[in-house]
Structure 1
Amino acid sequence: MSTHAKAVTIHPYFQIHAGKIEDFVANMTDFTNQTATEEGCLYYNFTLNGDEAFCREAYTDGDAALAHLANVDAQIKRALELSTMTRLEIHGPAEELEKMRGPLAGLNPAWFVYQTGLTK
């Protein structure tokens, strides 16, 4: 079985407020530096499309994803001062997503349950 069989990905999209791109980019660096301390992070990076930001992130399982969110709480709060989260998707196996549903209910994410595919 792949070591990524329980992997969870988080897909937040941010619309950066006018005049705040430089501040948001600085906060992206803070996010990345804070996340570098996490053992359960598989990958973590940001992409920009003009004034829209996307965080591309994956964790070994639901517990690691929740630990990440607790670890970057200050950076999340800062991001939400500088932008509006326009969409939040959580992808992964049903049993891992179930761990996250309660803690993330207030964010109203779209839940994508793994069905089939290839994990190497």
Structure 2
Amino acid sequence: MSHDNCCSIAPYFNVPEQRMDEFKALVGRFVEASAKEPGCLYYGFLFDGQTATCREGYDGADGVLAHLDNVGELFTQAQQIAELTRMEVHGPKAELDRLREPLSGMAIDFYELEAGFRN
């Protein structure tokens, strides 16, 4: 086992039915852009009716910040198509503390890891 510095992000979108195809096309661009990031551990979109969320994990705060720089324009486009209803960031306290200031302009719920392991 190793020290777990993984940070995950979970944005939730309410996608209007008439714009779902447009949103899903944008999802493909998100996946393509994120696949090239060395700090990205996993990434994928999930759907339940009109709700879309992204399951994404990064190698610490640096991986999160690099990702946000990489997909910033796409994230803006996503919010023009769908309503961002919730945003969560999960990870160890030390990593989350490094993210609080750079992400202070966003309404984010931070969840601190208290017990666990990573293989």
Same fold (TM over 0.5): yes
Which segments of 5 or more consecutive residues in structure 2 lack a partner in the other structure?
none
Count of residue correspondences: 119
CA deviations over 1:46-81 (Å, ceiling 9, x no partner): 001111101000001011111101100111011000
2:21 pairs with 1:22: yes
- TM-score normalised over the length of structure 2: 0.96
Inter-partner Cα distance in structure 2 for 1:17 and 1:105: 28
SS in structure 1 of the partner of residue 101 of structure 2:
helix
Q: CA RMSD in A?
A: 1.1
Inter-partner Cα distance in structure 2 for 1:118 and 1:65: 20
Aligned partner letter, 1:23: E
Which segments of 5 or more consecutive residues in structure 1 lack a partner in the other structure?
none
Aligned partner letter, 1:65: V
Match of 2:93 in 1: 94
Aligned partner letter, 1:98: D
SS in structure 1 of the partner of residue 78 of structure 2:
helix
Match of 1:5 in 2: 4
CA contact under 8 A between 2:12 and 2:84: conserved in structure 1? Answer: yes
Moved more, 4-13 or 63-72: 4-13
Match of 1:51 in 2: 50
Inter-partner Cα distance in structure 2 for 1:52 and 1:111: 21
SS in structure 2 of the partner of residue 79 of structure 1:
helix
Inter-partner Cα distance in structure 2 for 1:27 and 1:113: 30
Inter-partner Cα distance in structure 1 for 2:48 and 2:82: 14
Aligned partner letter, 1:103: P
- TM-score normalised over the length of structure 1: 0.95
Shift, 1:110, TM fit: 0.4
